[in-house]
């Protein structure tokens, strides 16, 4: 179905492309090209399975099938019909098509998806007398069409549901950080399990769980019920088992991972997800407000995303960020503190000078990921007068 070596595209969040490329290098891949919100790379079926199972910062892994020029839906239809779809499909399988459009030559992505589906189904019927069915919710083969100007790229989605769906969440928090984004922020922060980790506003515990999985080398795909490629014609279960068995987990993680939140409801969600990921013994939860929480001694990394006053409304948002800054200055010595927020105004109220500022996007919200070094002993954290309201 696929040649020995083929090109794949892993999609990610804006700002995480370098981190993703680094992860892909870690799979042993050399042929890598960084794109906008994506990384393109070459590999074989084993790399495809590994990419889905092991990449913490990939949202999807797509396989390139063909590309051709087209200026209208007739040329699109003809281009799709030239592909040998019997290589990828059987009449008993279902398909769906999604389309991403950056072109003035085509106006409706839904129409393009429809024409692509027609071209595949017509070819099948003409050649075999039978046709595959369409299942938009849970297809056996998801075809992804990307059109940039007049260039049509035809790809197959090997992941199925987005890879941020790790399989450890039962219910959603009101404002959870996406699992892929959380893992990417932890890797950007240099988290490698050599020290303590805490989140004083942990919500449903995403940073804690992703942090523990990184520290213990637990692959992000461990708890996922399935991947798209498992329904493909060429699925090789032995190879997939080999990929999963190849990972050596690190059970010797000796530091502390602690989360706290003022909301008992949030902590309940965190507890459930921690339990579902078998990390109950590795992560400690405390029901405390940031006003009272004291981190474990010994230093390490603090990472948190406080409310932005968007989805979670806060009465005095500047006062809350000022309080975070005060707690950091007085109680987080020896820690490198990282704050991810979509409220730059409020971030100024932290009143400490960030040693690093990384612009990021969280969905449509422009965010900033900032590092504050809180030194032990004589070297004090650089202090800025907080802005008053």
Ligand X SMILES: C[S@@+](CC[C@H](N)C(=O)[O-])C[C@H]1O[C@@H](n2cnc3c(N)ncnc32)[C@H](O)[C@@H]1O
Q: Contact residues for ligand X (CB under 6 A)?
A: 173, 175-177, 201, 203-204, 206-207, 261-263, 266, 289-290, 305-307, 312
Smallest gap from Cβ 331 to ligand X, in A, equals 13
CB atoms closer than 10 angstroms to residue 4? 7
Place of tokens 């650089």: 382
Nearer to ligand X, 104 or 315 (CB): 315
Closest to ligand X by CB, 101 or 208: 208
In the complex with ligand X, which residue's Cβ is closer, 146 or 322?
322
Give me the least distance between CB of 178 and ligand X, in Å please: 8
CA nearest to 60, candidates 126, 120, 146: 146
Radius of gyration, CA atoms only, the chain: 23
CB of 381 to ligand X, least distance (A): 20
For the CB of residue 26, give the shortest distance to ligand X in the complex, in Å: 25
| Angle between the N-to-C axes of helices 179-188 and 17-26, in degrees from 0 to 180, rounded to the nearest 10 | 80
Nearer to ligand X, 171 or 241 (CB): 171
Give me the residue whose beta carbon is nearest to ligand X.
203
CB of 45 to ligand X, least distance (A): 34
Q: From the CB of 261, what's the least distance to ligand X, in Å?
A: 5
Q: Which is nearer to ligand X, 204 or 277 (CB)?
A: 204
**Three-class SS state of 96:** strand
Q: Left (φ > 0), alpha (ψ -120 to 50) or beta: where does 215 sit?
A: alpha
Looking at beta carbons, which pairs linking 102-106 to residues 24 or more positions away fall under 8 Å?
102/147, 102/148, 102/149, 103/147, 103/148, 103/149, 103/150, 104/149, 105/70, 105/71, 105/72, 105/147, 105/149, 105/150, 106/72, 106/73, 106/76, 106/147
Q: Which is nearer to ligand X, 79 or 205 (CB)?
A: 205
């Amino acid at each position: 179905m696929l040649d020995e070596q083929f090109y794949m595209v892993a999609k990610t969040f804006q700002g995480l492309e370098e981190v993703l490329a680094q992860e892909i290098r870690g799979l042993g891949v050399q042929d890598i090209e960084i794109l906008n919100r994506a990384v393109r790379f070459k590999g074989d079926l084993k790399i495809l399975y590994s990419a889905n199972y092991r990449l913490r910062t990939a949202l999807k892994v797509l396989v390139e099938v063909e590309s051709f020029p087209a200026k209208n839906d007739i040329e699109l239809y003809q281009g799709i019909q030239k592909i040998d779809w019997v290589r990828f499909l059987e009449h008993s399988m279902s398909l769906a098509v999604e389309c991403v459009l950056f072109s003035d030559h085509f106006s409706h992505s839904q129409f393009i998806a429809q024409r692509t589906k027609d071209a595949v189904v017509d070819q099948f019927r003409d050649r075999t007398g039978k046709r595959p069915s369409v299942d938009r919710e849970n297809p056996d083969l998801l075809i992804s069409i990307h059109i940039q100007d007049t260039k049509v790229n035809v790809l197959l989605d090997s992941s199925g549901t987005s890879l941020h769906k790790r399989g450890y969440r039962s219910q959603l928090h009101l404002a959870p950080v996406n699992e892929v984004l959380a893992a990417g922020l932890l890797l950007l922060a240099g988290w490698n399990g050599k020290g303590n980790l805490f989140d004083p506003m942990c919500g449903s515990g995403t940073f804690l769980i992703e942090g523990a999985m990184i520290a213990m080398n637990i692959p992000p795909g461990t708890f996922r019920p399935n991947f798209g490629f498992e329904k493909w014609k060429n699925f090789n279960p032995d190879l997939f088992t080999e990929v999963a068995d190849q990972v050596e987990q690190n059970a010797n993680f000796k530091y502390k991972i602690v989360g706290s939140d003022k909301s008992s409801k949030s902590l309940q969600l965190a507890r459930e997800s921690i339990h579902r990921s078998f990390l109950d013994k590795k992560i400690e939860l405390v029901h405390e407000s940031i006003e009272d929480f004291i981190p474990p001694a010994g230093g390490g990394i603090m990472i948190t995303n406080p409310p932005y006053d968007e989805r979670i409304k806060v009465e005095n948002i500047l006062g809350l960020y000022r309080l975070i800054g005060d707690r950091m200055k007085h109680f987080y010595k020896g820690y490198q503190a990282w704050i991810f927020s979509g409220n730059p105004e409020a971030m100024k109220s932290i009143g400490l000078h960030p040693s690093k500022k990384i612009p990021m996007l969280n969905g449509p919200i422009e965010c900033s990921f900032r590092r504050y070094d809180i030194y032990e002993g004589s070297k004090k954290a650089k202090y800025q007068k907080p802005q008053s309201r």
